[in-house]
């Protein structure tokens, strides 16, 4: 088992290496001198020269790549053009709102979409099934920011309960945080819910045809118990896998949602950095988001190994 876990971790390393390589190529793709790009429009010739020396742009490309990779691996993402502070520090300072928002969205999704999807599968081809599937297509089609503004229009401008802007830390003011986070979490989770409800439905549908479900029924279990205790847990693996893959969707959503609700998290940092052409931050953020994605999926893989005795790689 320990060997399996080590194997999964080892498999995640090349993915990060590829991501880093893609980012490296991206920076070289931009028209002009990467040192100029990383130094910003306002940089003095000395600053550009300094960055050029640091990047070693006069040295051969493989050497540049190795040096850059070494910096990234040590968490040295460089300094921001505008604030001159280390990129890693800036990212870490903005982490809490994003993490709290994403956490709420995932909890909301699991609490709502999984039961909805399971119910749709149970009443396959009924009106409930059709309604859930229709809602799911709708959730895939309306962009998060439009949903955000519709929620603000419906629930924030008329009622005074849910503020439409800003962030309050749940560690400082739990009630205020709940009010501030309600609309953004809902906005962020809509696409995710659409995805998870669909996957839950198809996964439960597959399991409902299995022998052990029939056995559970034959044993005289109440129907409800057959669904929630026998079918759903066995349908869980595809659902959890898609939650992991869906983290990418969630990260894209975070950028848009934080922009709508003006939440000072990593998503807003991304937009600010892009608009200010603060490329060291952008570079750091892409690596950071990819690392989160890989780490979450690695964690899910490890949980499988620990929980499900059927999984042997």
Among residues 177 and 273, whose Cβ is nearest to other proteins?
Answer: 273
Residues 6+ apart with CB under 8 A from 202: 121, 238
Q: How many CA atoms lie within 13 A of 232 on its CB side?
A: 18
Only one of the segments 45-53, 77-85, 199-207, 302-310 lies at the binding site for other proteins (rule: CB under 8 A); that segment is 199-207
Q: What is the dihedral of CA 119, 121, 123, 124, to 10 degrees?
A: 160
Binding status of residue 270 toward other proteins by CB under 8 A: yes
For residue 236, with 0-12 CB atoms within 10 Å meaning exposed, 13-18 middle and 19 or more buried, which class applies?
middle
Q: Which two tokens stand for residue 273?
A: 């950095």
Tell me how far, at minimum, the Cβ of 213 lies from other proteins, in Å: 16
The residues in 33-72 that bind other proteins, with binding defined as CB under 8 A, are 37
- Our CA angle for 294, 260, 109, nearest 5°, is 50
DSSP string, 213-233: HHHHHHTT--HHHIIIIIIHH
Candidate residues 106, 191, 208, 213; the one interacting with other proteins per rule CB under 8 A: 191
How many Å apart are CA 133 and CA 116, to the nearest integer? 10
Only one of the segments 17-25, 66-74, 101-109, 180-188 lies at the binding site for other proteins (rule: CB under 8 A); that segment is 17-25
Among residues 122 and 293, whose Cβ is nearest to other proteins?
Answer: 293
Q: Under DSSP, is residue 266 helix (H, G, I), strand (E, B) or coil?
A: helix
Binding status of residue 135 toward other proteins by CB under 8 A: no
Candidate residues 9, 85, 103, 143; the one interacting with other proteins per rule CB under 8 A: 143
Chain Cα centroid distance, residue 117: 21
Q: Which two tokens stand for residue 144?
A: 């998060």
Applying CB under 8 A, the site for other proteins has a residue count of 60
Binding status of residue 210 toward other proteins by CB under 8 A: no
Only one of the segments 66-74, 137-145, 219-227, 304-312 lies at the binding site for other proteins (rule: CB under 8 A); that segment is 137-145
Residues 6+ apart with CB under 8 A from 203: 117, 121, 235, 236, 237, 238, 239
Q: Print the binding letters for residues 246-265 with other proteins: x by CB under 8 A, - otherwise.
A: x-xx-xx--xx--x------
Candidate residues 88, 274, 300, 302; the one interacting with other proteins per rule CB under 8 A: 274
Candidate residues 1, 9, 26, 311; the one interacting with other proteins per rule CB under 8 A: 26
Residue with token string 């399991």: 207
Q: Under DSSP, is residue 54 helix (H, G, I), strand (E, B) or coil?
A: helix
Only one of the segments 64-72, 79-87, 211-219, 269-277 lies at the binding site for other proteins (rule: CB under 8 A); that segment is 269-277
Nearest to 229 by CA among 209, 206, 212, 242: 212
Only one of the segments 39-47, 80-88, 96-104, 134-142 lies at the binding site for other proteins (rule: CB under 8 A); that segment is 134-142
70-88 burial code (b ≥16 CB/10 A, e <16): eebeeeebbbbbbeeebbb
Candidate residues 2, 10, 29, 127; the one interacting with other proteins per rule CB under 8 A: 29
Point out which residues bind other proteins (CB under 8 A). Answer: 14-19, 21-22, 26-27, 29-31, 37, 137-138, 140-143, 145-146, 149-150, 152-153, 157, 191, 194-195, 198-199, 202-203, 205-206, 238, 242, 245-246, 248-249, 251-252, 255-256, 259, 270-271, 274-275, 277, 279, 282, 285-286, 289-290, 293-294
């Amino acid at each position: 088992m320990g060997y399996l876990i080590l194997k999964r971790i080892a498999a995640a390393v090349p993915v990060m290496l590829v991501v880093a390589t893609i980012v490296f190529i991206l920076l070289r793709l931009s028209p002009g001198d990467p040192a100029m790009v990383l130094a910003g429009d306002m940089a003095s010739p000395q600053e550009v020269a300094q960055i050029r020396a640091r990047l070693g742009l006069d040295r051969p490309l493989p050497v540049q790549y190795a040096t850059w990779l070494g910096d990234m691996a040590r968490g040295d993402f460089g300094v921001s053009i505008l604030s001159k502070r280390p990129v890693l520090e800036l990212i870490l300072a903005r982490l809490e709102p994003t993490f709290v928002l994403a956490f709420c969205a995932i909890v909301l999704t699991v609490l709502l979409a999984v039961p909805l999807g399971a119910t749709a599968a149970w009443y396959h081809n009924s009106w409930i099934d059709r309604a859930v599937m229709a809602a799911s297509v709708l959730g895939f089609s309306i962009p998060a920011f439009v949903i955000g503004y519709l929620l603000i229009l419906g629930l924030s401008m008329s009622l005074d309960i849910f503020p439409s802007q800003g962030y309050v830390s749940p560690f400082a003011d739990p009630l205020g945080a709940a009010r501030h986070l309600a609309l953004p979490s809902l906005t962020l989770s809509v696409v995710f819910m659409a995805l998870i409800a669909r996957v839950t439905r198809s996964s439960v549908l597959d399991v409902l045809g299995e022998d052990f479900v029939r056995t559970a029924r034959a044993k005289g279990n109440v129907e409800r118990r057959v669904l929630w205790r026998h079918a759903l847990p066995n349908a869980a693996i595809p659902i959890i896998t898609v939650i992991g893959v869906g983290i990418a969707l969630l990260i894209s959503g975070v950028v848009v949602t934080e922009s709508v609700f003006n939440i000072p998290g990593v998503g807003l940092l991304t937009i600010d950095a892009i608009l200010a052409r603060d490329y060291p931050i952008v570079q750091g953020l892409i690596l950071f988001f990819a690392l989160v994605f890989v780490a979450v999926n690695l964690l899910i893989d490890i949980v499988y190994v620990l929980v499900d005795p059927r999984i042997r790689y």
